Amino acid sequence: MPEIEWRPVSRSEFYGWLAFYALLLLFLVRHFGQMTLLDNVHLPIHEGGHLLFSYFGQTLQLWGGTILQLLVPALLAWYFAVQAQLPGTVFCSFAFFHSLNGVATYMSDAIARQLPLVTVGAVADESDHDWFNIFSRLGVLPHAVQIGSVTRFVAWCGLLGTVLWFCWRYREQTRQESLAAAV
């Protein structure tokens, strides 16, 4: 795979995005489990996934919410990477891992089923909990909290890794600019 020639990021743009990610990460740590503005984007995509995948049978309809919720930011990150737009790639990658963190919360709630549920066109009841149904079918419901915890760990590694990668890319950009100026 060829190296991407990223479009340059200005200093103010870099520090603006870095402040945004720092504040969002701080919010996520301090207000563990609370909704963020990004969750209001993930939720309708999740529900739309159930509708979209309903044409492919009950199993894919059940998984469709999570599939689309993760697929949309992943595809957008890929699009921005192809366009060599670093801030867009980083934001969408961050959104992917933020969404995965939300999936982890949903997974961890499969046994207790205390999260308020949202459905499209129907009254939500406990039987509508995606991950209760998925884990029950897979025979791993007793391990829901552990699976959710591992998923949350992966999500947090991704969130932090995305921000660190952004910093590294910016540092590489400034290093290349310094080398070019010295020539």
88 part of a folded domain = yes
**One-character DSSP codes across 58-73:** HHHHHHHHHHHHHHHH
Amino acid 127: pLDDT = 55
In this structure, how many other beta carbons lie within 10 angstroms of the beta carbon of residue 174?
Answer: 14
In a domain, residue 24? The reply is no
Q: For the residues 97-125, what does the mean pLDDT come to?
A: 83
Q: What is the DSSP letter of 119?
A: -
pTM: 0.91
124 has a pLDDT exceeding 60 = no
Q: Span 86-91, mean pLDDT?
A: 98
Is residue 158 a part of any domain in this protein? Answer: yes
Q: Kindly state whether residue 46 falls inside one of the protein's structural domains.
A: yes
Q: DSSP class of residue 120?
A: S
Tell me what pLDDT residue 35 has. 73
CB contact at 8 A, 74 and 162: no
Digit-coded pLDDT (tens) for 33-84: 777 778 889 889 999 999 999 999 999 999 999 999 999 999 999 999 999 9
Number of structural domains the chain divides into:
1
Q: Is residue 52 domain-resident?
A: yes
Q: Are 48 and 68 in contact (CB under 8 A)?
A: yes
- CA dist 58 and 73 (Å) reads 24
Domain annotation covers residue 49: yes
Q: Token pair of 118, please?
A: 């949202």
Domain span at 49? 37-173
Angle at 89 between CA 79 and CA 25, to 5 degrees: 145
